[in-house]
Structure 1
Amino acid sequence: MSRRILTRIALVFLVCVVLLLALVGRQLMAPALPPVAEGEQPTPSAGQVARGAYLARAGNCMACHTARGGEPYAGGHVVNTPFGNLVAGNLTPDRATGLGAWSAEAFRRALHEGLSRDGRLLYPAFPYAHTTRLTDEDADALFAYLRSLPPVQRAVEPHTLRFPYGTQAALAVWRLLNFEPGRQVVDASRDAEWNRGAYLVEGVAHCAACHSGRDALGGTASMWAGGLMPDGRWYAPSLLDPAEAGLQEWPAERVVALLRDGSVEGATVMGPMAEAVFHGTSHLAEEDLRAMAAYLQALPVKPAARPGFRPADVDQMALGGRLYEQHCADCHGAQGQGAPDAYLPLAGNRAVGMTSPVNTLQAILSGGFPPSTAAHPQPYGMPPFRPLLSDAEIAAVATYVRQSWGNRASPVSSLDVQRVR
């Protein structure tokens, strides 16, 4: 290769580096906004506060911004990610550790641009890639509600992210690749109900934050196609695949009932989705649930790629069958048929048949309850078998369930269980 060509390549590379540094630098130049003096915050109307409370419910904000056993919205909840741990901030109006010195303008900027009051870039675990779609009116209502909460002083805990993920420069690069500020755009080809559903699902409720695949840097790689939660403990199933969590083939009333009640015949939510229903969607108005259903049912159908069926080892199936009969059959039935309004059927169960065994393993290991809602105030729960069964035994019973009564999912290994445990 000639010296002239090498020189040109070097110049192009240098120009690219300079442009990248300029773009990164621009991301890092956001100004700080001045603090609001105590007593200078405008008094919101009762209607604005109520509207903000409703939106906070829809977004399930409390789940991330409340530490276990802590005061609501006072922060401290740790979000485990592949890059390290993030600690959710205090959203109460405490001046020293919360939002007490923030203006409505600063709060809008955080939601719409992912910037803190002091100009720092916020981590995308705070879902500004979704809340950027909110109207100014809704952002102000959310702020009004948070300011109505009792102030709680809680020491700010540092994030513990591995280098370089904890740097502002790394955040700036991530934003260049993954974030574009903007408001929700009305699709004129769709009706008002669908557009309302899009605003709720894509923006306020930020459902895609869980139900999308992620690339190596945590950016969205496959919208709505499902993926592991950041801590790897649950799998958020695909909303494009009717064999996972796609709702395209369901009647609208059934979708509404699942979002409102957390359980319908043959389907029950658990884990993080149970929290989303309990704290969020079970409190939404019927018309908003119908709008969300209309949007979700209109998503395109894209079946996930699945490996060919591989029968389990005979000895593993035999062990799994004995364990199932001993621990599971009384509730779920000898043929996996379940019991109406009590125990889920396992035969033909979408969660059991997914390529990822994570949710099945999590249910066996940790147990759990569907959400308590008006329609199901005292739901039947699943006891944990973590202390009772070994990794090999849990792998065996999971494999038995995934390959019995017509289910045709891949076998589970002890290593699979160990990863989830």
Structure 2
Amino acid sequence: MSAAPAARQRIESAPNPAIGEQRRNPRPQPVLSERRTTSNERERSCGPDVAARSRPTRSSSALFVFFLEVAMANSWRRRALRSLLAFAALLALVVAFVAMSSQRRLQRDYALKIEVGAPDPALAEQGRHLARSRGCMDCHGGDLAGKIVLDEMPFGRIVGDNLTRMPPGHENASVHERMFRALRHGVDLDSRPLLMMPSQEYAHFSAREIEAISAYVSTLKPIDHGLPQSALGPLGRALLAFGKLDDGFVSAEKIDHDAPTMAAPPPVGTIEYGHHLARLCTGCHRADYAGGPMPHAPDKKPAANLTPHGLAGWSERDFIVAMRTGKRPDGTGIDGSVMPWRAVGTADDEELKSLWMFLRSLPPVERSTNAKL
């Protein structure tokens, strides 16, 4: 072997430092990007026609359904909004009607001019008897200093006025005028109507009887129970506005304010005097005294039939005992919460006999009320 080939062989077989370095640190290879090309890039690279064909498109039917759904949704919203606005407008009209109608009736000015003198003090004892036996204390309290008669919101709150004190703003007014306005006309000192004051039953009182009650009230010492004022709630105002409280709730509307006032009552012990007393019963037992559903209290027992048909088998003595004790001839009790037998029972015998005489003089009326006195 020659020396030259041997030397070349040694050179080729010798390690190359550069190749070893490349093997230890190979050159990084380029990596293809996975980013999706945008439509603009596709247009630049492929042309606008190819790019347009590659975009996803909706069919015409799908677009129609989409726009139809949008239109229907908007239409439903518009209908719902119109219905809501119509309901709100109707509700506002009803509320306005109730407010104005009830306020007009509650605040009506009857513009009554009442001129009465001071009551005769000698009539005070007779006035005390009338205040007890004619039911004044049932609503105004035993001391006539007022009483809450009804407190049921949202219907309302009815308070029997304090008769021992003059109302605010009228401290120097006449007690006689106040009593005359309330009993004869159903209004206060400002000529505004009183609520649930049964003045249509007292309007027939004679001037002498009203004067006697005024004389008695004038002797009472002022008492203050701190009672609230009467007020009608939203339900009460709605019933009043729609004519559902017309049975004497605002009694001033039912009274003939121009009718003359009798000077004195008929003589005691006569049918005429009995009729004079019985007119206090018409609020519950009706004008024909045959009874029926209770005004403003349909859940209560109907008022009894007081004609000879309803009191068949009763005697004068039975009637007087029932008014004194609250017991019927058969021994059963009379419901004092609806029949004021305690007040009626304070009338003297001659008054009760007169009342019985009148009731027996009535024509019999047959009416099924499922109630008895």
Shorter-chain TM band: 0.5 to 0.7
Mapped contact 2:314–2:329 kept (Cα < 8 A)? no
Residue 179 (structure 2) aligns with = 107
Change (3 A) 1:107 1:76: same
Aligned residue in 1 for 2:281:
207
On the 8 A contact 1:49/1:144 being kept in 2, the answer is yes
Alpha-carbon spacing, 1:248–1:109, altered in 2? closer, same or farther (3 Å): farther
Which amino acid letter does the alignment assign opposite residue 255 of structure 1? F
Cα pair 1:134 1:183 within 8 Å, conserved: no
**Displacement after TM superposition at 1:52 (Å):** 0.7
Where do 1:54-65 residues align within 5 Å? 54-65=129-140
- Matching residue of 1:355: 370
Give the Cα–Cα distance (whole angstroms) in 1 for the partners of residues 133 and 188 of structure 2: 23
User: Aligned-pair RMSD on alpha carbons?
Assistant: 4.3
TM-score (norm 1): 0.51
Tell me the alpha carbon deviations over residues 58-109 of structure 1, each in whole angstroms, 9 at most, x when there is no partner: 212111123xxxx732223233799933423323332346985442133212
Code of the aligned partner of 1:106: R
Q: Aligned partners of 2:155 and 2:252: how far apart in 1?
A: 21
| TM-score, L = length of structure 2 | 0.56
Alignment of 1:118 with 2:187, yes or no, is: no
1:194 equivalent in structure 2: 271
Q: Which has the higher contact order (CA 8 A, sep 6+)?
A: 2
Q: Which runs of 5+ in 1 are unaligned?
A: 1-20, 213-219, 306-353, 360-421
- Displacement of 1:139 in angstroms is 0.6
1:84 aligned residue: 155
Give the whole-Å Cα distance in 1 for the aligned partners of 2:168 and 2:145. Answer: 9
Change in CA separation of 1:193 and 1:273 when aligned onto 2, cut-off 3 Å: farther
CA distance 1:270–1:287, shift in 2 (3 Å): same
Look at both structures and tell me which one has the larger radius of gyration over its CA atoms: 2
Pick from 218, 234, 247: which aligns with 2:300?
Answer: 234
1:386 corresponding residue in structure 2: none
* 1:197–1:295 Cα contact (<8 Å) kept: yes
Amino acid corresponding to residue 263 of structure 1 in structure 2? K
The 8 Å contact of residues 239 and 247 in structure 1, kept in 2 or not, is answered as yes
- The one-letter code of the counterpart of 1:146 is V
Q: 1:83 to 1:285 in 2, by over 3 A?
A: farther
* Bigger proportion of residues as helix: 2
Which of residues 340, 343, 361 is equivalent to 1:298? Answer: 361
Q: Provide, for residues 116-144 of structure 1, a one-character-per-residue CA deviation record: whole Å limited to 9, x for no partner.
A: 10111223x21110111001111111122
Which of 316, 319, 323 is equivalent to 1:259? Answer: 323
Which consecutive residues of structure 2, in runs of 5 or more, have no partner in the other structure?
1-100
Residue aligned with 2:345, SS: helix
State the Cα distance separating 1:148 from its structure 2 match: 1.7
Say if 1:197 and 1:292, in contact at 8 Å, map to a contact too: yes
Correspondence for 1:395: none
Give the 3 Å change call, closer, same or farther, for CA 152–198 of structure 1 in structure 2: same
Whether 1:277 and 2:341 are equivalent positions in the alignment is: yes
C-alpha separation in 2, matches of 1:90 and 1:118: 15
Distance 1:155 1:98 in 2: 17
* C-alpha contact (below 8 Å) 1:248/1:301 kept by paired residues: no
